Amino acid sequence: MTTQQNHSSDIHFAYWVPNVSGGLVVSNIEQRTDWGIDYNRRLAKAAEKNGFEYALTQIRFTAGYGADNQHESVAFSHSILESTENLKVIAAILPGPWKPAVVAKQLATIDQLTNGRIAINIVSGWFRGEFDAIGEEWPDHDERYVRSEEFIRTLKGIWTQDNYSFDGKYYQFKDYTLKPKPLQQPHPEIFQGGSSRAARDMASRVSDWYFTNGNTVEGIKAQVDDIREKAKANNHHVKIGLNAFIIARDTEEEAQAVLQEIIDKANPEAVNAFGDAAKEAGAASPEGEGNWAKSTFEDLVQYNDGFKTNLIGTPQQVAERIVALKAAGVDLVLAGFLHFIEEVEYFGEKVLPLVRELEAKNNEQLKAAV
C-alpha cells in the first residue's frame, strides 16, 4: 500500500461509500462489497492509505429497485470519520426532508468533532416515489433547484456570518447566529449532483464542486466549458467531479470480461424499474439534458452511468484515460468498484502511481514550453 503525495495540481480521487445494499451495479454478479459499518470502516482506512482524499455517502429514504437497505448519510459519514485520520467524508443531503438550520448545526458539530473533515453533497431529488412515500412535496424539476440554491446560500450564510438574515421563497432566517461555527474556513466544501441545465447553472453560481454522471471525454468537456464560462461571468469558481465505475485488471481482456459479466447478469426488472424512475427525472428537466436522459439499458446497470467514462482496462490504460479527463477539465474522479476494498488497494498500488507519473511528465513538458 502506498500513500501518494497530492500536489495542488494533481487530480483528486473520491470513492462512493457503499452505505446502500447491493453495491453500485444492478446485477446479480458476485460482489465482495458489503453495506455494513464494519466493512465500510475497513474500506475507509484502505482508501485513505491508497490515495483517496474523499468518500461520498448516498442518501435514499426508500428504493423502488435493487437497493433494499439504505443507511442514513450523516450518521454514517460521522462513523466513517471517527475511524479515519485524513479522509474527508461528503454527506449527501436532500433539501425537502432536511432543513438548512438543522444541517448547518449538525455539520458544524461534526466538523468540530473530526478536525474539519466533513463536506456536503446537495442532491436535488430524482425519485418521486421516495418523496411520495415520506409525505414530502415534489416540486417540478427546475423548482427543486430553486430550493437547492436557497439551501446552499443559507448554509453559507449561517456558517460564515453572525446575525444572519435571509428572506427566500423556501427558507427564512432572522438575526440568526450559529455557535460554534464549523472549524473549516470559510466553511465545509459544498458539492452538488446533477447534469441538467438547472444543475449546471446552480453550480456556476453557488457550489464549490459539481458532481456529474459518467461521461466520455467529449461529453464532460462540453459540460465543463459550459459551466466554466457561466461561472466566470458570475465571478465564481467551481470544480468538477466525474463519476466512473473503475475496472482495472492486469489485462484488458480480464477487465472487459468483468464488464461483460456485470451486464450479462444484470437484473432486468430492477434495471428497468430504476430506469423508469431515473429517466422520468432526467427527461423532466425542460431541456431534457438531465442525468440519465440519454442512458441506455447497459448504462443504467451502473446507477450513475459509470461505464461511459471507460476507466476499464489495464492500469496503464486507466491512468492514461484519467489524465485525458484531467486535460478536459475534470478535477476529481469519483470511483465505484465491484469489490471495493480489494480494488481500492489495487488502484492505489497499480493505477495511481502511473497517474502521478503521467501528471509529472505533463507538468515538466509545460514548464519546458514556457
Ligand X SMILES: Cc1cc2nc3c(=O)[nH]c(=O)nc-3n(C[C@H](O)[C@H](O)[C@H](O)COP(=O)(O)O)c2cc1C
Cβ proximity to ligand X, 221 vs 350, nearer residue? 221
Cβ proximity to ligand X, 27 vs 223, nearer residue? 223
Question: Could you give the 3-state DSSP secondary structure of residue 213?
Answer: coil
Min separation Cβ 191 and ligand X, Å: 8
List, in order, residues 6 or more apart from 254 with CB less than 8 Å away.
none
Cβ proximity to ligand X, 50 vs 213, nearer residue? 213
Contact footprint for ligand X (CB under 6 A): 58-59, 92, 94, 123-126, 193-196, 198-199, 211-213, 243, 281-282, 285, 290-291, 304, 334
Cβ proximity to ligand X, 338 vs 354, nearer residue? 338
Q: How far is it, in rounded angstroms, from Cα 141 to Cα 287?
A: 11
Cβ proximity to ligand X, 178 vs 325, nearer residue? 325
Q: How far is it, in rounded angstroms, from Cα 192 to Cα 103?
A: 15
Min separation Cβ 1 and ligand X, Å: 26
Phi–psi pair at 40, nearest 5 degrees: -65, -30
Min separation Cβ 143 and ligand X, Å: 12
DSSP 59-90: --S--SSS---B--HHHHHHHHHHT-SS-EEE
DSSP 2-61: -PPP--TTSPEEEEE---BTTTTBSB-S------SHHHHHHHHHHHHHTT--EEE----S
Cβ proximity to ligand X, 173 vs 211, nearer residue? 211
Q: How far is it, in rounded angstroms, from Cα 166 to Cα 178?
A: 14
Min separation Cβ 279 and ligand X, Å: 10
Peptide bond into 286 cis (omega under 30): no
Min separation Cβ 55 and ligand X, Å: 12
Cβ proximity to ligand X, 224 vs 281, nearer residue? 281
Could you tell me the CA-to-CA distances from 309 to 270, 304, 336 in Å, in that order? 23, 10, 11
Min separation Cβ 280 and ligand X, Å: 10
Min separation Cβ 253 and ligand X, Å: 30
Q: How far is it, in rounded angstroms, from Cα 278 to Cα 281?
A: 5
